[in-house]
Structure 1
Amino acid sequence: MNSNSTKSILLVGVGGQGTILASKVLSEGLMRMGYDVKMSEIHGMSQRGGSVTTHVRYGSKVYSPVISEGEADILVAFEKLEAARWLTYLKDRGVLVVNDYEIYPVPVLLGRAKYPEDLNGMFRRKVKDVKIFDAGKVAQDLGNVKAQNVVLLGALIKAMGLDAINWEEVLAEVVPARFLELNVKALKAGMEL
């Protein structure tokens, strides 16, 4: 990264998926790497399964945490419909990381709307660099589906080339001790995807 460039990462998901925890771990790690980091979290009706977005910007000097449309270097979606909803925020040559996971919003559950078909195909047609995988399955295989947020974080760290620091130490600072072992395994699994 040259001295004046700022990188922008947009993390999007649904309330309860751990989007904010992943963003806090990421921000802490970036600060340890010596970057100026700004983070902004936006909760929709997150307690009721609504959208949660987190903007993380880092560089030598960052003036605002807010990412505008077409500015995200990487978009990490914890759920496929959220990826579709926020896709316009990704740069032309940006990277899209998608959890191959569906959470049906209330209108779909009530039969008033249909969940879009073939979102993965649409992502592949619109984005040159797209990574789609089932982070929930990876986390479930490790013992707890709730660790899918850290699996996605591991994939993000690898995709951005940010694996030069001890992320286990960062996790130890942010994650409760009783979940540390699981989260370390989840981070490593994500980095290997």
Structure 2
Amino acid sequence: MRRTSQLAVGLVLYAVSMAVLVDSGLGNMPWDVLSEGVAARTGATFGTVTLAVSALVLACWIPLRQRPGVGTVANVLVIGLLVDPFLRLLDAAGDQPLAARLAMAACGIALNALATALYVGAGLGPGPRDGLMTGLVARTGRPVALVRTGIEVVVVVTGIALGGTFGVATVAYALLVGPLVHVLLPRLTVRDVPDAASPALQPGAAAAR
């Protein structure tokens, strides 16, 4: 039950964080630069493109032999369906001064780190983009940092070419979200608790290890 509720909260907050960063106008998350660019060229909504891109990335798991979990599918659906309504709510507030937009960008980055730690910590399956990264790492043997950076550079450059927003918040996100998740994830990871009949709780169990 905790895993499911934590996953749900994390995904909702993730959609909120995306909308906040997009609305700040100071730069999107790397994949959102691409989604916004595609939306600008096609006329589709940001949420619709986000959903389509997530589904396409998930399809790339097939040759990589990655297996999605319930959290993976929920990631695609919940975030893709909720980000547009959150964007409409923020748009209704009108244009904000630069100081407010900077605060929005900072809050969006922090909220995204919390959301990521919540849904990853639930242990019900990685997001489509994380699974793509880990699948490529497994297949190529390249370091995680190299693969992740390579993917995000391609995504951002393509997004900029299509008209997506790249800015100071994009750079700040790239630099800060990893360390923030690193701090939060151990505190939010749901761990299985052995029951009373578990050997781990029986006398002499520790000595047997």
Scaled by the length of structure 2, what TM-score is found? Answer: 0.30
- Considering Cα pairs closer than 8 Å and 6+ residues apart, tell me whether 1 or 2 has the greater RCO: 2
Max Rg structure: 2
